[in-house]
């Protein structure tokens, strides 16, 4: 089974983040601009939380709060579940399923963020791996 580092090699290591003091409205705009469902919340190079569309819906909209006046730190999810580049993709899928989360920041040995994987990235990787295995089995049977 492939590891997260292999997934990041194909996907890239681009990370989108906001600062904890920024208004939620800026975070939502950044998610829309980058076509992502979550942003890391960073204070400098330190990962302090994650904010998602789900956080926005549940902690701003449903509570009647102002997205222009509410800072991200008030709605972010923390602590953040992270993985390393050496984690296996199937373990990441299990973690997402058990914790009911959709995004996993990837951190190195020094706890620096080196990427983010989503449940969509993980599913795509598993489907690709299964398709390759199926093709190999078909070649074996036909050969």
Q: Is the pLDDT of residue 3 over 90?
A: yes
CA distance 46 to 12: 20
- Return the pLDDT at 135: 84
- Return the pLDDT at 140: 83
- Return the pLDDT at 1: 64
Look at residues 2, 91, 107 and name the one whose alpha carbon lies nearest to residue 50: 107
Alpha helices in 48-118 (DSSP H): 53-56, 89-99
CA distance 116 to 95: 14
Over the chain, what is the mean pLDDT?
93
Predicted model pTM:
0.87
By DSSP bridging, strand 17-18 and strand 38-43 are: parallel
- Counting the structural domains of the chain, the total is 1
Range of the structural domain that residue 124 is part of: 4-142
CATH number at residue 28: 3.10.580.10
For 60-96, the pLDDT digits (tens) are 999 999 999 999 999 999 999 999 999 999 999 999 9
């Amino acid at each position: 089974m492939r590891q997260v580092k292999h997934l990041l090699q194909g996907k890239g290591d681009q990370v989108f983040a906001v600062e904890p003091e920024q208004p939620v409205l800026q975070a939502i705009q950044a998610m829309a601009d980058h076509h992502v469902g979550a942003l890391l919340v960073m204070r400098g190079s330190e990962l302090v939380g994650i904010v998602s569309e789900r956080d926005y819906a549940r902690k701003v909209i449903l509570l009647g709060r102002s997205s222009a006046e509410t800072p991200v730190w008030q709605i972010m999810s923390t602590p953040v579940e992270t993985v390393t580049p050496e984690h296996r993709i199937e373990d990441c899928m299990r973690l997402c399923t058990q914790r009911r989360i959709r995004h996993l920041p990837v951190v190195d040995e020094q706890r620096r963020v080196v990427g983010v994987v989503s449940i969509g990235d993980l599913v795509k990787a598993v489907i690709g791996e299964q398709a390759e295995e199926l093709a190999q089995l078909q070649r074996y049977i036909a050969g």
